[in-house]
């Protein structure tokens, strides 16, 4: 997820762009850059690191112009570096691009261009676009874009300048946001309204397939077939702070609601359900490597550790590979049997967690194969691991991890299915079935997120409780742990996640009406057992909040509150059962007036032991 700003009009575009990028830094901050046209010549400045570095560079060597583009980057392809920073120019330095999104077929396009003698400056997928546009350019940037869009696949929001057409900008949008700010004798473009509110409240939201030609006086929007698109001008009443959160009250809530899109971004261009194919381009393990794995050891902390616990069920059920899961701070001082036949999978959103990084280094020192799942390109973990798969869910600002967790799970499903198929444990037809099921998950979560009033009501009922018990079995035991962690870390209420089958071995002594029990009882092999646990708890005065599969009527008489989640394959259920638990924790914390995005005593990344 990156931030884009464009401007054309009477002001100094450099000021507008830098101010706008500052408002968009929450979308990404690996590097930033700006491109302007002065005397029909393109000028580009870019710096690695925070936006401050670019601003300082421009202060030292000022530049002014009436038209320009800016970009702040969250790396997905190509590590944070000056050459990978946007904007990118074509080889003749006549066209420049800033891009947010993922071009799925960029490798194929890049290879075609290389064969034609095209040289590349960067490792990014974005640079491919500007070379294609230059190749298609005759005397209209707009037409060159229309032609190029038929060649590229993926998600994109990009902006272009061309020195032969110095009084216009061209933007295109598909599955990534772009909004035009309408001014008087000036026009603005950005990834979201945050960057534009200081200048105008009149916004035009581009829709998928839109291509916009923007001058200081006029905005023309057409599609690839040259059909005019009349988009409504909307007046935005948010203040800047609200806008940074897209109108959500907290980043955590925004990130919970982003999950349908971030799960899709994570599997986009990696799974092909109808072909029964998985292609994780960056992983690079040979089929032989996969067949030779004797055991897997997943290592992580916190929420990432809970994702690892889910993966144990996936790897052992689908691939047949024995799988251990360890907490990094224990693993690094433990005595695990580590050797070259062991695959150590490291999971870390930040890629900077000290214990997790230390565990990775230990595994490497023992010649283990190492694979990292990470959300931050260029982070310590991503640079240390033998192989790395990125979660593509954009910066996660809320300290409580939500979208990163479901993105981690998405990758773990892909790995389990892929490795099971490669090891002959998952026939193609079953693989297609599971990939289609995974494909549908974003839609199902999106539907669930449309009706969450019950969660707000339940939060009001239990906001003053001091202890919660979360119960789950099988793949939802880790979700019980995760639900409890969410509640305690943002509301400071004590909560315990427990394997439901363990109730009789102690925790059942705790039960009374003062301690609500959240029971994850979706349909599957352990459903009946969960119903028994619920009945045991209820008979001792426990108050039951059950997570149940939609249309389940049996559970109605067993529980005090029922949160229905979409019915999915039981192995996929963690992707849907975690969402109501994220929201329950969020609404309780908000009712308590807690600092949801920055809870006390916590940091987004624990970079010390
Ligand atoms: C989760 O909500 C917490 N913020 C915390 O447990 C986190 O998951 C843990 O610190 C691991 O962080 P990482 O994924 O960045 O390594």
For residue range 467-514, what is the model confidence (pLDDT) as tens digits?
Answer: 999 999 999 999 999 999 999 999 999 999 999 999 999 999 999 989
350 Cα to the center of ligand 1, angstroms? 8
308 beta partners: none
Distance between CA atoms of residues 89 and 103, nearest Å: 17
pLDDT reported for residue 584: 98
Pocket test for ligand 1, best of 256, 304, 372, 380 (most atoms within 8 A of CB): 304
All residues at 6 or more sequence positions from 297 whose CB lies less than 8 Å from its CB, including other chains: 323, 324, 325, 326, 331, 336, 338, 342, 343, 344, 345, 363, 368
DSSP run (H or E) holding 491: helix 477-491
Q: Sign (positive/negative) of CA torsion 325, 330, 335, 341?
A: positive
- Please, which pLDDT band fits residue 237 given cuts at 50, 70 and 90? confident
pLDDT reported for residue 306: 98
Q: 78-115: per-residue pLDDT in tens?
A: 888 999 999 999 999 999 999 998 898 999 999 999 99
342 beta partners: 295
The alpha carbon of residue 27 and the mean position of all alpha carbons in its chain are separated, in whole angstroms, by: 11
Alpha-carbon distances of 573 from 65, 163, 441, 476, 597, rounded to whole Å: 53, 53, 10, 8, 26
pLDDT reported for residue 605: 80
Ligand 1 pocket, residue 605 CB under 6 Å: yes
Say yes or no to pLDDT of 392 above 90. no
| SS3 track for 433-487 | HHHHHHHHHHHHHHHHCCCCHHHHHHHHHHCCCCEEEEEECHHHHHHHHHHHHHH
401 Cα to the center of ligand 1, angstroms? 6
Ligand 1 pocket, residue 329 CB under 6 Å: no
Distance between CA atoms of residues 566 and 576, nearest Å: 7
- Please, which pLDDT band fits residue 211 given cuts at 50, 70 and 90? very high
Cα distance between the two ends of the chain:
30
Q: What is the mean pLDDT of residues 540-551?
A: 96
Residue 402 CA, closest ligand 1 atom number = 2
DSSP string, 293-362: --EEEEEE-HHHHHHHHHHHHHIIIII---EEEEEHHHHTTS-----TTEEEEEEESSS--HHHHHHHHH
pLDDT reported for residue 225: 96
The CB density around residue 121, as the number of other CB atoms within 10 Å, is: 12
Pocket test for ligand 1, best of 326, 349, 581, 596 (most atoms within 8 A of CB): 349
Phi, psi for residue 178 in degrees, rounded to 5: -150, 135
Catalytic positions, written as ranges: 2, 604
Average pLDDT, the chain: 94
Q: How many residues does the chain have?
A: 609
Distance between CA atoms of residues 230 and 227, nearest Å: 10
Upstream peptide bond of 87 is cis (omega within 30 degrees of 0): yes
Q: Sign (positive/negative) of CA torsion 440, 281, 70, 41?
A: negative
Say yes or no to pLDDT of 1 above 80. no
Pairing of strands 179-182, 202-205: antiparallel
Say yes or no to pLDDT of 316 above 90. yes
Q: 252-279: per-residue pLDDT in tens?
A: 999 999 999 999 999 998 999 999 999 9
Q: 417-428: per-residue pLDDT in tens?
A: 999 999 999 999
Closest Cα partner for 168 from 217, 112, 114, 118?
A: 217
Residue found by looking up tokens 């389990």 in the block = 416
149-153, 250-254, 296-300, 604-608: which range is least confident on average? 604-608
51 Cα to the center of ligand 1, angstroms? 26
Ligand 1 pocket, residue 483 CB under 6 Å: no
Ligand 1 pocket, residue 380 CB under 6 Å: no
Pocket test for ligand 1, best of 252, 255, 256, 301 (most atoms within 8 A of CB): 301
Ligand 1 pocket, residue 401 CB under 6 Å: yes
Say yes or no to pLDDT of 162 above 80. yes
Q: What is the mean pLDDT of residues 381-385?
A: 90
pLDDT reported for residue 394: 83
pLDDT reported for residue 247: 83
Q: 20-34: per-residue pLDDT in tens?
A: 999 888 778 889 999
Distance between CA atoms of residues 521 and 235, nearest Å: 45
Residue 356 CA, closest ligand 1 atom number = 16
87 Cα to the center of ligand 1, angstroms? 32
């Amino acid at each position: 997820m990156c931030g884009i700003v464009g401007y054309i009009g009477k002001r100094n575009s450099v000021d507008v762009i830098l101010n706008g990028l500052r408002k968009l830094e929450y979308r990404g901050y690996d590097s930033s850059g700006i491109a302007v046209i002065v005397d029909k010549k393109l000028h580009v400045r870019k710096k690695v690191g925070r936006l401050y570095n670019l601003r300082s560079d421009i202060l030292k060597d000022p530049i002014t112009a009436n038209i320009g583009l800016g970009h702040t980057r969250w790396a997905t392809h190509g590590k944070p570096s000056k050459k990978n920073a946007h904007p990118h120019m074509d080889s003749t330095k006549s066209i420049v691009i800033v891009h947010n999104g993922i071009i799925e077929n960029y490798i194929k396009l890049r290879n075609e261009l290389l064969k034609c003698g095209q040289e590349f400056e960067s490792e990014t997928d974005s640079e491919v676009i500007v070379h294609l546009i230059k190749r298609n350019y005759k005397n209209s940037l707009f037409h060159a874009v229309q032609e190029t869009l038929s060649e590229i696949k993926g998600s994109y929001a990009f902006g272009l300048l061309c020195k032969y057409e110095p009084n216009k900008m061209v933007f295109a949008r598909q599955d990534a946001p772009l909004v035009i700010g309408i001014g008087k004798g000036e026009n603005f473009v950005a990834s979201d309204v945050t960057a534009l509110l200081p200048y105008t409240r009149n916004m035009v939201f581009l829709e998928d397939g839109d291509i916009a030609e923007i001058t200081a006086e006029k905005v023309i929007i057409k599609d690839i077939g040259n059909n005019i698109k009349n988009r409504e001008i909307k007046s935005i009443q948010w203040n800047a702070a609200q806008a940074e959160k897209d109108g959500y009250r907290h980043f955590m809530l925004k990130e919970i609601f982003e999950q349908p899109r971030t799960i899709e971004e994570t599997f986009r261009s990696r799974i092909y359900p109808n072909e029964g194919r998985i292609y994780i381009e960056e992983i690079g393990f040979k089929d032989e490597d996969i067949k030779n794995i004797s055991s897997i050891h997943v290592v992580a902390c916190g929420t990432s550790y809970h994702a690892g616990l889910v993966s144990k069920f996936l790897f052992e059920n689908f691939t047949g590979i024995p799988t251990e899961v360890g907490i990094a701070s224990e693993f690094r001082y433990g005595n695990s049997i580590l050797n070259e036949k062991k695959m150590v999978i490291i999971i870390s959103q930040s890629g900077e967690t000290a214990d997790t990084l230390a565990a990775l280094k230990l595994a490497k020192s023992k010649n283990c194969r190492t694979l990292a799942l990470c959300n931050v390109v260029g982070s310590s973990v991503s640079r240390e691991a033998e192989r790395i798969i990125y979660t593509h869910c954009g910066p996660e600002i809320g300290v409580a991890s939500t979208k990163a967790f479901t993105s981690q799970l998405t990758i773990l499903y892909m790995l389990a299915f892929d490795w099971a198929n490669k090891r002959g444990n998952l026939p193609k037809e079953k693989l297609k079935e599971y990939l289609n099921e995974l494909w549908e998950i974003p839609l199902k979560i999106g539907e669930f997120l449309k009706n969450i009033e019950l969660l707000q009501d339940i939060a009001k009922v239990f906001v003053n409780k001091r202890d919660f018990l979360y119960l789950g079995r099988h793949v939802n035991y880790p979700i019980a742990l995760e639900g409890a962690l969410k509640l305690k870390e943002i509301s400071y209420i004590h909560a315990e996640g427990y394997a439901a089958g363990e109730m009789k071995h102690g925790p059942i002594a705790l039960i009374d009406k003062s301690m609500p029990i959240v029971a994850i009882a979706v349909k599957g092999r352990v459903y009946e057992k969960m119903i028994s646990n619920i009945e045991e708890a209820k008979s001792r005065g426990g108050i039951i909040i059950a997570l149940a599969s939609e249309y389940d009527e049996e559970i109605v008489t067993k529980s005090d509150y029922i949160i229905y989640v979409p019915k999915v394959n039981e192995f996929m259920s963690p992707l849907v059962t975690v969402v109501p638990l994220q929201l329950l924790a969020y609404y309780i914390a908000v009712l308590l007036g807690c600092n949801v995005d920055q809870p006390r005593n916590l940091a987004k990344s624990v970079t010390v032991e």
